Amino acid sequence: APLLRILGIETSCDETAAAVVSRHPDGRGEILSDVVLSQLEEHSAFGGVVPEIAARAHVEALDGLIEEALDQAQVRLCDINAVAATSGPGLIGGLIVGLMTGKAIARAAGKSLYAINHLEGHALTARLTDGLSFPYLMLLVSGGHTQLVLVRGVGEYERWGTTIDDALGEAFDKTAKLLGLPYPGGPAVERAAREGDADRFKLPRPLVGEARLDFSFSGLKTAVRQAATEIAPLNDRDVADICASFQKAISRTLQDRIGRGLARFRSEYAHLDVTPALVVAGGVAANQEIRRTLQALCLEYGFRFVAPPMKLCTDNAAMIAWAGLERMAADFAPDDLDVQPRSRW
């Protein structure tokens, strides 16, 4: 296989990102550049991502970031083989900006275009960072997604579990807002929880014990609201105790849900002669207690726990470029220039 190089573009949510990644003839990936501009400040006053603001910010930043990514990688457009742009799922305004830009570059430079599913980007990242081989399990826990996915091959994914209401990061964000903590809520809740008593509040552990592998977090949020209302006005101690109890409920829930997933993987792939692996991705993977829980679980079930560096766990364009490279290397046809962005996919 020849050396391949791809320019990646990511604009599906509140991060504008561009990257150049190469794939060596031996299959190894190399990140030549990876630039991300977070719009956190634009959105924090609103306590969440505002789609219209996000789309406008992508328009303003994207071309400069692409230039920066090419400069840092020391390549010109003629040195790349293709352009990979996220085409869904996500906020439609941002997707339009990124995909149209990708199309324009591909057309003008005479390169092929790969329209990438954002989730595929997350799913394949561990092969770029850790050279993981198929099959493996991936837990994606971010502000928009909560999914346990069986990754069988490039383009071969089986969703084993998903949330039936809020995403896990969303549950952190809503809980933080309820307690008067800043956005994004995850880091604030984790910080407050460190000083708290995790056993003070008995919060629900949704779906624990059920055979299917789905998640549900909205009941937990409601229980937090109830607890907070009952003891209002809240002092710092109360907030810390609620956060600690909340995080403990999440950890126990994940322990049960993911434990079942690992057991199912083991029974379906009993013949596998390599150590099975669980990969985490998404912003919530930054949470130390959740990490410890998953790590302990992996130890218990004999899994390798793979947590790519945080920069590659959260939204970035290197994973999109890599997904394009994986598709290219696996002889998937590039996409036509009339491919449409899909907010749901």
Query: Of 187 and 204, which has the nearer Cβ to ligand KG4?
Result: 187
Binning the chain into helix, strand and coil, the percentages to the nearest 5 are 45, 20, 30
| CA–CA separation, 12 and 4 (whole Å) | 25
Give the interface segment with Zn ion, choosing from 108-116, 149-157, 309-317, 321-329 (CB under 5 A): 309-317
| CA–CA separation, 125 and 60 (whole Å) | 27
**Is there a binding annotation on residue 118?**
yes
Q: What is the DSSP letter of 161?
A: E
Site for Zn ion, residues 113 to 172, rule: CB under 5 A:
142
Give the interface segment with Zn ion, choosing from 78-86, 149-157, 173-181, 312-320 (CB under 5 A): 312-320
Q: How far is the CB of 123 from Zn ion (least distance, A)?
A: 11
Q: How far is the CB of 168 from ligand KG4 (least distance, A)?
A: 7
Q: How many CA atoms lie within 13 A of 141 on its CB side?
A: 27
What is the secondary structure of 9-61 as a DSSP string? EE-SSSEEEEEEEEE-TTS-EEEEEEEEEE-HHHHHTTTS--HHHHHHHHHHH
Q: How far is the CB of 257 from ligand KG4 (least distance, A)?
A: 16
Residue selected from 10, 166, 238, 315 as contacting Zn ion according to rule CB under 5 A: 315
H or E, element range at 210:
none
Residues that bind ligand KG4 in the complex, under the rule CB under 6 A:
13-14, 142-144, 169-170, 172-173, 184-187, 190, 282-284, 286-287, 314-315
Q: How far is the CB of 12 from ligand KG4 (least distance, A)?
A: 8
19's tokens:
């990257």
**Is there a binding annotation on residue 143?**
yes
| CA–CA separation, 13 and 89 (whole Å) | 9
The residue whose Cβ lies closest to Zn ion is 315
Query: Of 122 and 327, which has the nearer Cβ to Zn ion?
Result: 122
238 binds Zn ion (CB under 5 A): no
Which residues contribute to the site for Zn ion (CB under 5 A)? 142, 315
